[in-house]
Chain A
Amino acid sequence: MSETRLRPPLRGKELVLAILRWILIIFFAVYTLFPLLWLLSSSLKTNFEFLTKSPFALPAVPQWQNYTNALSVAGLGRMLLNSVIVGLVATLVNVIIASMGAYCISRFRFRGRESIYTLFTAGILVPLSALMVPYFVIINKLGLYNTYGGMILLYCAIGIPMSTFLIRGLMDSIPMELEEAAYIDGCGFYGRFFHIILPLSRTGIVTAATFQFLTCWNEFIFANLIVSSEKLRTIQVGIRYFTNQFSTDYVSMYAAIVISIVPSIIGYVLFQEQIIAGMTSGAVKG
């Protein structure tokens, strides 16, 4: 493991293993990247090029107008905006509720605390898609079918167990003495929460928020279920309709898919640590 370890020159079996190792490393990288590059390259071709030339040929002249086409025909701008609105509001409300809950669970001993925490953890385990029917009914009963409110409420709610779990983890690591000292100095419940615990839990909250936003951004099943109006479609639901809208205009369709993927990739590169932390902590989901 240590990098300073002296390696004798490789031979025989070791050499075979080293070669095998690199074959695997490169195979998986190519497997992931190549389709994405193919998509990007196809999105810059003309339809004629795409249909008649080799799929691996690069575009002769990059056709940037495919992207303007995609934006105008599919109403991608509107969809991106919808996704941003729903994602941001749901994330904001989600982390506020989760921080408040996490604070209580993390800092106080009260009756029912353990059962409440168990309830949250169990919530992470529930296969949400199995609850499609009741969610559909609840959103309808609340009169929120086909509204931003419905999506925001549902997204905010389904992320609560995970966000509470992530934020609580960080709050647990803040020394109790800090808060006790503030308490003795006469700092009340809200003061301690807003001035001491919340600022110190920043990293946990950012992780939860990043994870929550990505979940909202990529969510499809429920968005597809509780929204039918074209005006409210999120980008993921929109993708489903691209295929019809661009029935023969393949290259513009590919441009539309690229546009829908790019924000996720940029977000990932910017918030890599938070996203990986959020997703791997979620591994308790087992």
Chain B
Amino acid sequence: MKPTSSDRRALAAFMAPAIAVMVIFFIIPILYVLVVSCLKWNGISAPQVVGLENFVKLLKNSTFQRSLKNNIIWALVAGFIQVPLAMVMAIILSRKPKGWKFFRTVYFFPQVISGIALATLWRAIYNAEHGMLNGLLSAIGLGSLTTDWLGNSGTAFPAVLIYWVFYVGYYMVIMMADITTIDTSYYEAATIDGATDFQQAIYITIPLIKKTSLLTCVTLASVMGLRQFEQVYMLTNGGPNHRTSTMVLYMYERLQSESYGLASATAVILIIVGVIFIITIRTLFNGRGETVKPKKARRAVK
């Protein structure tokens, strides 16, 4: 509809709050981190322009290096282990086995529980003296494997990383919504031709979701991996000896110590690494890097 002249004023009034929010909370903050990343500034005294010095400092800092490395590992594990697991479960549940609605509900639980509550729960599970994991290992006769999972520098990062990998509900639901839109005649024809369920999954389902929901999920999961904060903050607070630090945790610590420049530079690197991941994944999935709009995940299946 074309706005009439009397509509115009109302239109401007209606649009204004949302636009104000976008400017104040999205555009200005992004410009802010870009500018401040080139400053030496504690938030109080006069800022000093230092160019790219903050970035050089960061890349030389061993804690930052460790954080960056952890985030990249996290992004890769999320995108290429967690999402494929979710895909397998999406394929299985979209065939509607007995109780599939119940299982879908259950798998989605970790998504609605706050990250901080889940992390606290897992801290209790990993606890060296009375945690469930050590209890389980002792109970099945593997007592020799019990250890202080989060305190031990060898096991801390894998422990922080792994528990999350098996929470596949979110990606599973996205892919299930996609799979249910696939024309059933493909499967009917394949069944007549004697294709097994497994063959149908490999030759029909996966190719058909690859450029849509699978791409979306791999991208999403990787980007989530780059943003990890609550898990490490609550489970280990980056320890032992910064082994489990992440970029957002590092940024948080720099902000606490009032190094606004370093914190902002970390934010800029986080955004850049994210963009690199998104472009690389798109290129991988589409062969020749042409951008295909990911199909919007439809409303979840009933």
Where the two chains meet, the residues of A that have a C-beta atom closer than 8 Å to any C-beta of B are 1-3, 5, 13-14, 17, 21-22, 24-25, 28-29, 31-33, 35-36, 38-39, 42, 50-51, 54-56, 97-98, 100-101, 103-105, 107-110, 116, 119-120, 122-123, 126-127, 129-138, 154, 156-158, 160-161, 164, 176, 179-180, 183, 188-190, 193, 214, 217-221, 225, 236, 239-240, 242-243, 250, 254, 257, 260-261, 264-265, 267-269, 272-273, 275-277, 279-281, 283-286
Contacts and interface: CB of A to CB of B under 8 A. Distances in A.
B187 interface: yes
Given A42-B124, A50-B130, A108-B7, 16 more contacts: A1-B182, A22-B97, A28-B166, A32-B110, A55-B135, A97-B17, A129-B270, A133-B33, A133-B263, A134-B28, A239-B116, A250-B124, A267-B112, A283-B213, A283-B294, A286-B215
Given A17-B197, A276-B173, A2 B184 contact: yes
Report whether over half of chain A's contact residues are helix, strand or loop; otherwise say mixed.
Answer: helix
B103 A25 contact: yes
A21 to B, nearest CB: 5
29 contacts: A1-B95, A1-B182, A1-B184, A14-B197, A24-B88, A25-B92, A50-B130, A54-B135, A56-B132, A110-B3, A110-B11, A116-B15, A120-B18, A123-B22, A126-B30, A130-B268, A131-B29, A131-B33, A134-B33, A158-B25, A160-B21, A218-B115, A219-B114, A239-B234, A257-B120, A272-B105, A284-B216, A285-B220, A286-B219
Interface stretch (B47-55, B57-65, B153-161, B223-231): B223-231
B202 interface: no
Interface in B168-218: 168-170, 173-174, 177, 182, 184, 187-188, 191, 196-198, 213, 215-217
Given A2-B184, A189-B11, A276-B173, A51 B18 contact: no
Contacts of A214: 112
Interface string B102-124: 01011111111111110011111
Residue of A14, A109, A189, A219 ringed by the most chain B CB atoms within 10 A: A189
Contacts of A268: 108-109, 112
A265 B188 CA distance: 38
Contacts of B169: 32
Residue of A35, A138, A250, A272 ringed by the most chain B CB atoms within 10 A: A35
Contact of A264 (B103, B114, B122, B129): B114
Contacts of A189: 6-7, 10-11
B267 interface: yes
Interface in B1-54: 1-3, 6-7, 10-11, 14-15, 17-19, 21-22, 24-30, 32-33, 36, 43
Going nearest first, the 3 A-B pairs with the smallest beta carbon separation are A101-B18, A55-B135, A134-B29
Contacts of B191: 5
B196 A261 contact: no
A280 B299 CA distance: 7
A275 B111 CA distance: 10
B297 interface: yes
Given A39-B121, A123-B22, A286 B216 contact: yes
Contact of A132 (B115, B120, B252): B252
Interface of B: 1-3, 6-7, 10-11, 14-15, 17-19, 21-22, 24-30, 32-33, 36, 43, 88-89, 92-97, 103, 105-117, 120-125, 129-132, 135-136, 139, 166-170, 173-174, 177, 182, 184, 187-188, 191, 196-198, 213, 215-217, 219-220, 223, 226-227, 229-230, 234, 248, 251-252, 255, 260, 263-264, 267-268, 270-271, 274, 278, 294, 296-300, 302
A133 to B, nearest CB: 5
Given A5-B191, A188-B6, A28 B24 contact: no
Contacts of A264: 112-114, 117
